[in-house]
Structure 1
């Protein structure tokens, strides 16, 4: 599950970069130092925010999952929590990119519940 989350993060990085190209963000600008800010489209901006959100939660998930593994607390609760986190994060990005408001928040909540389950598993 940890590797699956890493793959989700890598996909987000590539997707965000690809969505941020075009318009005023031409190839010379993308390959340069990017000292002057250029606007991005709506979808690219959403992908940037989704990526930032992933980067906020992934270290917590990784630390919690590794702590469970090192402590020998890797049971059903840990696995279900990890699955909920990974599935929630995988669904969050395309739903956010599409601009679906309420479902996006519910899917995010599923991923956070997954993270909390991993943390609870550590203390059991």
Structure 2
């Protein structure tokens, strides 16, 4: 199995962990009745760490499909190389660092982690564009 596919799998695990964390924190804030209810009522966005975890997860969902498509195209085309393998690792580790940075409200380091993850994505995409 390629490094890119392995890190794609780890990124899926990270996404599931972020989903569960956001759900846990929002449920803690709004209560179990909200979680198990039909959610027909409009509610204000969650505050504090619950809101930040939800936004961090949404941010993950904005970049992950692009990475997944690039990794699958890369592996299917046989164009994976050392740069794309490193890029998949950079993307994953930067996205992992992004979560606690966002949850704790660290502004500049959070943005740096996002930028590094996008550099990793570019490294994965690059062999497809050559």
Alpha-carbon offset, residue 43 of structure 1: 0.7
Query: How far, CA to CA, are the matches of 2:83 and 2:118 in structure 1?
Result: 14
Which is richer in helix? 2
For structure 1, the residue ranges without an aligned partner over 5 or more in a row are none
Alpha-carbon offset, residue 21 of structure 1: 1.5
Structure 1 runs of 4+ off > 4 angstroms?
none
* 1:65-108 per-position Cα deviation (integer Å, ceiling 9, x unaligned): 11110111111011011001111111101110000010000000
Query: How far, CA to CA, are the matches of 2:27 and 2:10 in structure 1?
Result: 26
Query: How far, CA to CA, are the matches of 1:18 and 1:37 in structure 2?
Result: 19
**2:13 matches 1:10:** no
Answer whether contact 2:27 2:34 (CA < 8 A) is retained: no
**2:42 matches 1:37:** yes
Give the number of aligned pairs: 123
Query: How far, CA to CA, are the matches of 1:47 and 1:29 in structure 2?
Result: 18
Say which SS state the counterpart of residue 79 (structure 2) adopts. coil
For structure 2, the residue ranges without an aligned partner over 5 or more in a row are 1-6
Alpha-carbon offset, residue 22 of structure 1: 2.7
Alpha-carbon offset, residue 37 of structure 1: 3.2
